[in-house]
Structure 1
Amino acid sequence: MRNKTLYSFFLLIWIGALMVGCQEESSPSETETTPSPESEQDNAKEQNNEQANTDDTQATDHEEENEPNDNQKESSEEQAKVSDNEANTEPDSQDSSKEEQIHETSYASEEKAVNRLGLESYREVEDTNINLGHGIEGFAEGAAGHTYISWNEGKWLIEVDAPTDPSYMVANYEDDEALAKAVVDYLEDNYLPAPDQRGIIEINAFNEHPQTTIKWQKGSTVYMIDEKVPDPLTALEIAVNQG
């Protein structure tokens, strides 16, 4: 009887131990399932840092989208340079055209310059027989279908070669006298360059081959304008602008 009682006691102890073991295996430990406060703080910090990094990345991308890249900046600068060059092209072209209308020839000395390019034919008109207005007196003569009028203004000698037949005369002028007076009128208010020693203006008033040649000397340089235009005032305007 006593043995049975001991046996039952040990059996109950053994069963109880088995039940406790099963409960421990089926229930996770408190340390495994319940995170510590420190772990929760660390996780929160990591999440905040990740969110901050994401915001910084988005802000940087947005700035890069709004800021022009280096290629765009270079392209804008090149376009600005092209615009500046285009703005300066027209005045340069005008200066080039002006230089083409006025030809310069330099010589070793002033003495040689005054005797080149036809300037050696300069003369002072002493005998006069025609009044051209504004106190200017000239000399008129004719020969072989030509009429000539010549006069001086300052250091300039001006000569007009016109046809005796008005039908061969350049337009806008009746004859050589009308043309000569128009030149005197124009030069009354518009001033030619002042030559150092001499200058010559030769006007061909034939309508088939009109031509006005203007030459003057400054130092050892001779300037020349040669325009094949029907109105000599057009060529004179170039010289006036140069003066």
Structure 2
Amino acid sequence: MPDFQGYGWLLLDGLVLTVGVAIASMLGALALGLLAALGKLFAPRAGKILIEVYTTFVRGVPELVLLLLIYYGLPTLVQNTAAKAGYDLSLSINPFVAGIGTLTVIYAAFACEVFRAAYLALPPGQREAAYALGLNPVITFRKVELPQMMRYALPGLGNVWMVLVKATALISIIQLPELMRNADIAARSTRQPFTFFFAACLLYLAITAISMLGQARLERWAARGTTEAKS
């Protein structure tokens, strides 16, 4: 048995915060990603261009750079701008808010592409049949298209979740006491880096294993009532 020298609770506290940050960020990413996907599909040309710029920029810049830009760069920019206008302003962003906000913005860009691809995979006959029954576009999307979109999107969204969970380790750089940050504190205090970092690896792996089981169950639930053509 590894000797955690009384720091085991620190890892558990970090695990709880990591899971909380990941869930909150994923919920935000799903909502923002769905809106961005609908914008890419149906917005006027200017809106589509703006969303395309957003998704391209976010997917092309490392997560760590964006995190540092929001947590350290944004307050400085606001303070300097206020100073030029003659105002003495002091601004700081809560690490928890900065972590969730950054991860939400980043992974909404990936979720956007998943949702867009899922919508394009829908058979057009579904939409046409709904219109023939007299359903308006909003009800058609909510009652007919969205449930089917989720079935197509679940595998891709599962991958987004897996990557997001691992990316929570990056927010240790802004001093948020999540799993990686607490593992580092314990490792430095006890001089047992292998013990605590390996324990962190196992905890991340446990989250992944549970997530995979949950994703498989969700995919089976979403596929209920559907049949595959047999040759």
TM range (shorter): under 0.3
Higher-Rg structure is: 1
- The TM-score normalised by the length of structure 1 is 0.23
TM norm structure 2? 0.24
